[in-house]
Amino acid sequence: MNGSGLYIHVPFCRSKCYYCDFYSVAALSKKAAVVEALALEIGREAVFLNSEKPQVRTIYFGGGTPSLLDASDFSRLFDAISDTYNIVACEEITLEANPDDLTPEYIQLLRQFPFNRISIGVQSLNDKELKLINRRHTASEAMEAVRLCKAGGFDNISIDLMYGLPGQTPESFEQTVCQALTLPVTHISSYALSWEEGSVLFHKLKKGVLKEASDEWLETCYFRLNRWLQSAGFIRYELSNFSLPGYESRHNSSYWNGTAYLGVGPGAHSYNGVERRYNEPSIDAYLEGIHSGNPARKTEILDDNTNYNDFVMTRLRTTPGISMAELEHLFGVSKKNYCLSNAKRSLDNGLLVYENDRLKLDDKGLFIADAICSDLIWV
């Protein structure tokens, strides 16, 4: 697999969703300054990918809400990208979008740029649930946005759905998934709601206004979701990601496969196998760092044990699992033996399977992957 990933973090939203802890601000006054700084960072940081003109295989505009950018913003960013990187063989260029931004005019604007994948934050197709998490769109607007993208020429459309939402019932979750499956989508990411400290939902939880869904209910949702999506022809290629054959997210897969990526923007992370970098999640610190030439970021030098732990944690989430031959090649026979001997309890309990030199989650282990993984990591 040749080429790296490029992630561009757009730290603006029109309003904050109640569950969200991604770095973004609900004010657009600094948008032009941030776009200019992103272009400068894109131009300066190619060296992180160990080449003068690195080959980029995937580009992902995430956020925040990248669908708040306009044509001049995209022109500036794509010019900076093509000046510095080789994108001739770039396979996937994704824009994360909010349904309320996806008007026919905006979709036509996007078609002027090389995007070939749209990832839409739908979250639920139940108006009451959408309101409780402060999404700006209704269920029918979200469905219309997907159809407009398809009609506007996008064939690769992903949506995000959540379970464990406040107010969600078994019936409403099933209805959301059934309606989603009537749409022309090629990819579905679905995560349980995470009650992030500092979010509005977490505050309401602490005040006793809302209640967390039980683990049993979340597990039921997860397995039902697997069943419904698989009957509709979707393949689970990672614990929370499902696609029609051939439509796996190449960009996200590169995170799970250890491919190098450069992340630009406030709060973005980068990884190149030797170090991991974290841009500070602050627009002011970001702008100041870019203009002074002293970027506001932290760097972690990765040692062999950290790389082994990352390898095990990310690979175990994927459907093919951990290749023991690759593990041995990268980290030596002692780490391979360590991994296999620590996997014994989960193998004996039917949570993991070991076949064709691969260690992978069995169905029983899917919902408790984190706990299983904690046995395998190096401490």
Q: Is 20 in the site for ligand SF4 (CB under 6 A)?
A: yes
Q: Residue 7: what residue type?
A: Y
Quote the least distance from Cβ 90 to ligand SF4, whole Å.
24
Q: How far is CA 227 from the centre of its chain?
A: 22
Quote the least distance from Cβ 98 to ligand SF4, whole Å.
6
Q: Is 16 in the site for ligand SF4 (CB under 6 A)?
A: yes
Pick 21 or 326: Cβ nearer ligand SF4: 21
Pick 191 or 354: Cβ nearer ligand SF4: 191
How many Cβ atoms are within 10 Å of 193's Cβ, its own excluded? 19
Q: Is 63 in the site for ligand SF4 (CB under 6 A)?
A: yes
Pick from 6, 8, 10, 13: which binds ligand SF4 (CB under 6 A)? 13
Pick from 4, 8, 9, 24: which binds ligand SF4 (CB under 6 A)? 24
Pick from 64, 265, 266, 267: which binds ligand SF4 (CB under 6 A)? 64
Instruction: Locate 29 and state its tokens.
Output: 């006054």
Report the candidate in 60, 154, 63 with the shortest Cα–Cα distance to residue 102: 154
Choices 10-18, 41-49, 168-176, 201-209 (CB under 6 A): range interacting with ligand SF4: 10-18
Pick 269 or 358: Cβ nearer ligand SF4: 269
Pick from 6, 17, 97, 343: which binds ligand SF4 (CB under 6 A)? 17
Choices 13-21, 28-36, 206-214, 257-265 (CB under 6 A): range interacting with ligand SF4: 13-21
Residues contacting ligand SF4: total by CB under 6 A: 11
Pick 45 or 101: Cβ nearer ligand SF4: 101
Instruction: Locate 88 and state its tokens.
Output: 């001739």
Choices 18-26, 150-158, 246-254, 289-297 (CB under 6 A): range interacting with ligand SF4: 18-26
Q: How far is CA 174 from the centre of its chain?
A: 23
Q: Residue 213 has what DSSP assignment?
A: P
Quote the least distance from Cβ 267 to ligand SF4, whole Å.
11
Are 266 and 278 contacting, i.e. CB atoms less than 8 angstroms apart? no
Q: Is 65 in the site for ligand SF4 (CB under 6 A)?
A: yes
* Residue whose tokens read 């030199």: 357
Q: Is 118 in the site for ligand SF4 (CB under 6 A)?
A: no
* CA distances for 124 relative to 38, 233, 356, angstroms: 32, 21, 39
- Between CA 90 and CA 76 the distance in angstroms is 18
Q: Residue 153 has what DSSP assignment?
A: T
- Between CA 155 and CA 144 the distance in angstroms is 15
Q: Looking at residues 120 to 159 of the shown chain, list those that interact with ligand SF4 (rule: CB under 6 A).
A: 121
Choices 19-27, 73-81, 295-303, 333-341 (CB under 6 A): range interacting with ligand SF4: 19-27
Cβ-Cβ contacts under 8 Å for 357 (sequence gap 6 or more): 323, 324, 325
Quote the least distance from Cβ 82 to ligand SF4, whole Å.
27
What character string, x for contact with ligand SF4 (CB under 6 A) and - otherwise, covers 184-203?
Answer: --------------------
SS (H, E, C) 45-109: HHHHHCCCCCEEEEEEEEECCHHHCCHHHHHHHHHHHHHHCECCCCCEEEEEECHHHCCHHHHHH
Pick 57 or 135: Cβ nearer ligand SF4: 135
- Preceding peptide of 64 cis, ω within 30°: yes
Q: Which residues bind ligand SF4 (CB under 6 A)?
A: 13, 16-17, 20, 22, 24, 63-65, 98, 121
